[in-house]
Amino acid sequence: MTLRYIIVDDSLSVAQDAADSALTEDSTTVTNSKAYAGTDADLSGDLTVDGAVTVTGDVASSGDVSGVAGTFSGAVEGTTGTFSGAISGTDGTFTGNLSSAGSLVSGVSTVETETYDIADDDYNVLVSYTSTGAQTTTIPTAQLAAGRELFIKDIDGNAGTNSLTVATEGTETIEGGNAVVINTDYGDVCLISDGSNWFIKS
């Protein structure tokens, strides 16, 4: 007998990926009005969830990943991800497009020290120090990654007096040099890396 649909009015739990307990069917639809919990679920059809999806491991898909909200502590991988709500997690890797019907919120780091080294999770770096003195932000060699972007801005509005220098750590360059100097009040720079060096995007 071929199982085409599973309709559950109570909870459905799977303990392990064993032949007698794992949910492995060629079903086209799985509908669950309550909770589904387990270590593995293999479906050749669609899994539709009306609420949030919370995953503590990785989610890999050769097709589309879509929903209202997704919270992941591992990686999200697929060809296309479309969410009308929030996506949060440690990593998201897509070979296709990532579309959002809402806003895209990226991390912000505020710097209030004379020197600062770019960290793994930095994207928008807002420097609040130029009212005190000149400031240097260094991009360590370990932070090189093809496609990575950095936005660095003077938010004190005093870089015209006390400059903000963005420098590399090793032999990598920024537009052929080892540093770029922001010397206008409220000035900024947006950088992108090709994996070997940095370039000014805007």
Q: What's the mean pLDDT when you consider all of the chain?
A: 77
* pLDDT of res. 202: 75
Strand order in the sheet with 80-83: 64-67, 80-83, 98-100
43 versus 82: the higher-pLDDT residue is 82
Residue 2 has a pLDDT of 47
All structural domains of the chain, each given as residue ranges with its CATH number in brackets, are 1-48 (no CATH), 51-105 (no CATH), 108-200 (2.60.120.640)
CB 130 within 8 A of CB 159: yes
In our burial notation (b when 16+ CB lie closer than 10 A, e otherwise), range 106-123 reads eeebebeeeebebeeebe
pLDDT at 120 over 60: yes
Number of C-alpha atoms within 13 angstroms, CB side, residue 123? 8
pLDDT digits (tens, 9 = 90+) for 150-181: 999 999 999 999 999 999 999 999 999 999 99
With a pLDDT cut of 90, the percent of the chain lying above it is 47
Q: Give me the pLDDT at residue 52, please.
A: 66
Angstrom CA distances, 44 to 26, 30, 68, 81, stand at 5, 11, 22, 18
Give per-residue pLDDT as tens, 121-136: 999 999 999 999 999 9
Please determine, for residue 9, whether its predicted confidence score (pLDDT) is greater than 60. Answer: no
Asked if 65 and 81 touch (Cβ cutoff 8 Å), the reply is yes
Tell me the pLDDT band of 15, cut-offs 50, 70 and 90.
very low
Q: What are phi and psi of 143, to 5 degrees?
A: -90, 0
Q: pLDDT value at position 19?
A: 42
